[in-house]
Structure 1
Amino acid sequence: RLTAGETATVTFTFSERVTGFTKDDIDLTLANGTLGDLVPVGTDGKVWSATYTPNSGIESATNTIRVNLAGVLDAQGNAGTGTGSSGNFSIDTKRPEVTVAISEERLTAGEGATITITFSERVTGFTEDDIDLTLANGTLGDLEPVGTDGRVWRATFMPRPNTESANNTIRVNLAGVQDAQGNAGTGSGSSGNFSIDTKPLEVTVAISDRHLTAGETATVTVTFSERVTGFGTEDIQYDTSQGTLSALTAVGTDGKVWTATYTPRPDTESAFNRFHVNLDGVLDAQGNAGTGSVSSGNFSIDTRP
């Protein structure tokens, strides 16, 4: 049995001294490999040897090397007839191959994905150390075999928090993985690309005038760290007994900035006022919901004559 990287010595032994024996007399049609130069063994002209190298990427249980005797002569000039054949030998120079699949192409905060690693044949020596997460921006749970054939494994991948990355892959290094015949893999297999957005929404709330008097209004500007959906005036909390807020108006087309006009109520005197934006119902483009709330700076109102 020949595996990847192995060679074998082929010995040709005739019943008597011969002439005219060359590599042209050797039939490798059923051998799935190549033969090196013939080298005589001893001086009696009966024994020859050569190094046989199997082709790469071959998996074959039936292989033979044959010698055509028609062109071989003994010392009396008698030509041989027919052929001589080696015994059968097997070849497995096919190295393990791998595919890496991820169950989700887009991961958001709190989401995980199942990583399925499938080898072309049964393998040994495969561990978490063979998995490269350098470009993955996350962590992997314990490997679990799927079935009993030693080909398929899975684990749970969790993206890192506070991460925003459009390009992520998980790679499997094959150098330490072997098939049943001891062939070590080469190179690596990679998952398809997937994106991660576990970065929570951030928002700032600004008011254009910190001291409002009779007849004045102020512009309230709400600026998100990224495009959002689901944001409305119901997400803005303030003391309605002190003033009123107009409808929201989008600034630009990126869905990040919104403004509204605040009008203080007449006959009001208040030194402490703030706007609070509740993020729980606001979503970014990946569906991540905000958490908590953010406040504006303090502003005063004096509309009392």
Structure 2
Amino acid sequence: GFGTEDIQYDTSKGTLSALTAVGTDGKVWTASYTPSSGIESANNTIRVNLAGVLDAQGNAGAGSASSGNFSIDTKPPEVTVTISDSSLSAGETATVTFTFRESVTGFGAEDIQYDTSKGTLSALTAVGTDGKVWTATYTPSSGIESADNTIRVNLAGVLDAQGNAGTGSASSGNFSIDTKPPEVTVTISDSHLSAGETATVTFTFRESVTGFGTEDIQYDTSKGTLSALTAVGTDGKVWTATYTPQPNTESATNTIRVNLAGVLDAQGNAGTGSASSGNFSIDTKPPEVTVTISDSHLSAGETATVTFTFRE
């Protein structure tokens, strides 16, 4: 009367094969127990309900009998990846933490995947001695502007203490990088200025900035003057000013430049170098003429050539 229907165990955690009799005396049977995948359980038993089992004298069993406790761990290694700063700017670094739910072996830098053109990760440092947590320092590259970035772990080569191999990958949350300094385009509305004319100079930044003022603008004040700046819109990207050339000026080579050193973007990146408008010419000098005569002492019968020479 002993069969698999008398055996009790948690079928969500494993399966038991059919019984195989050992010998012919009806005393010993075996079966193979196969744990389910993805299981982590410290307390498990296999029990026999003796109520339906009879001995040769017809005595029925009573109660149940249980195996000793056994544990199951068929769950592959899992890791959580966190980054200490989700918005990185120039000069900043972030700590990346790799936290496994159990002790593992085989985890190294070769298992970490990220875009190396946008930043670099230092060597791993173990936190404690239990083989669960590691950290590394992430340093963004310079001149980068990227809204979508992650650091991932390929778990295929990582093993837990039971020899379960990791599968798939785990990723950090998204983080942004902006180590690109402010940039500006300077344009002038008229590249040939004459007397009575003015030009609008437009300063267009690629992102919102602070710290931009007339003190950052460089030009030859002996040839013209620039009005106060006027913000265009409220996003801190565009300003205009009116350029008025000086009278009696003739100059073929002129630019208006911005010194970016004191200009900051929203991430605190400081500008570097300068940006210049295209060349423009100034001619507010009125016509001038030189009159010469070929003979300064004319007598009867003579003529003289009078020459009128303008400078332009």
The normalised TM-score by structure 2 is: 0.81
Q: Quick check: 99-108 or 220-229, which moved more? A: 220-229
| Of 71, 75, 93, the match for 2:74 | 93
Instruction: Give, in whole Å, the separation in 2 of the partners of 1:54 and 1:247.
Output: 78
Q: Quick check: 132-141 or 171-180, which moved more? A: 132-141
**2:132 maps to amino acid:** R
**Partner residue, 2:167:** 186
**Partner residue, 2:4:** 23
| Of 269, 273, 277, the match for 2:250 | 269
**Partner residue, 1:58:** 40
- Listed as ranges, the matches of 1:1-305 within 5 Å are 20-28=1-9, 33-55=14-36, 56-60=38-42, 62-81=43-62, 83-134=64-115, 137-305=118-286
1:138 positional shift: 2.8
CA shift in 2, pair 1:182/1:301, >3 Å: same
Instruction: Give, in whole Å, the separation in 1 of the partners of 2:210 and 2:12.
Output: 67
* Number of positions where the alignment pairs a residue of Structure 1 with one of Structure 2: 285
Deviations 1:227-256 (A, max 9, x none): 222211111011112211001122344432
1:39 positional shift: 2.9
**Partner residue, 2:289:** none
Asked whether the equivalents of residues 59 and 93 of structure 1 are also in contact (C-alpha less than 8 Å), the reply is no
CA shift in 2, pair 1:32/1:264, >3 Å: closer
**1:57 maps to amino acid:** I
Asked whether the equivalents of residues 135 and 169 of structure 1 are also in contact (C-alpha less than 8 Å), the reply is no
Instruction: Give, in whole Å, the separation in 1 of the partners of 2:10 and 2:150.
Output: 43
**Structure 1 unaligned blocks of 5 or more:** 1-19
1:208 positional shift: 2.0
Q: Quick check: 148-157 or 174-183, which moved more? A: 174-183
Deviations 1:159-209 (A, max 9, x none): 233332222221222222122222223333221111112233322212222
The normalised TM-score by structure 1 is: 0.83
Instruction: Give, in whole Å, the separation in 2 of the partners of 1:139 and 1:116.
Output: 15
Deviations 1:271-293 (A, max 9, x none): 33221111111122322221100
1:127 positional shift: 0.7
Asked whether the equivalents of residues 98 and 133 of structure 2 are also in contact (C-alpha less than 8 Å), the reply is yes
Deviations 1:39-91 (A, max 9, x none): 3344443332222123543231x543233333222334333455444344333
**Partner residue, 2:302:** none
CA shift in 2, pair 1:233/1:37, >3 Å: same
Asked whether the equivalents of residues 13 and 39 of structure 2 are also in contact (C-alpha less than 8 Å), the reply is no
CA shift in 2, pair 1:29/1:196, >3 Å: closer
Asked whether the equivalents of residues 77 and 166 of structure 2 are also in contact (C-alpha less than 8 Å), the reply is yes
Which one has the largest radius of gyration?
A: 2
**Structure 2 unaligned blocks of 5 or more:** 287-312
The RMSD of aligned alpha carbons is 2.6
Asked whether the equivalents of residues 31 and 64 of structure 1 are also in contact (C-alpha less than 8 Å), the reply is no
**1:221 maps to amino acid:** T
Asked whether the equivalents of residues 248 and 259 of structure 1 are also in contact (C-alpha less than 8 Å), the reply is yes
Instruction: Give, in whole Å, the separation in 2 of the partners of 1:30 and 1:142.
Output: 44
Give the SS at the match of 1:70.
helix
Instruction: Give, in whole Å, the separation in 1 of the partners of 2:47 and 2:214.
Output: 88
Percentage identity across paired residues of the two chains: 73
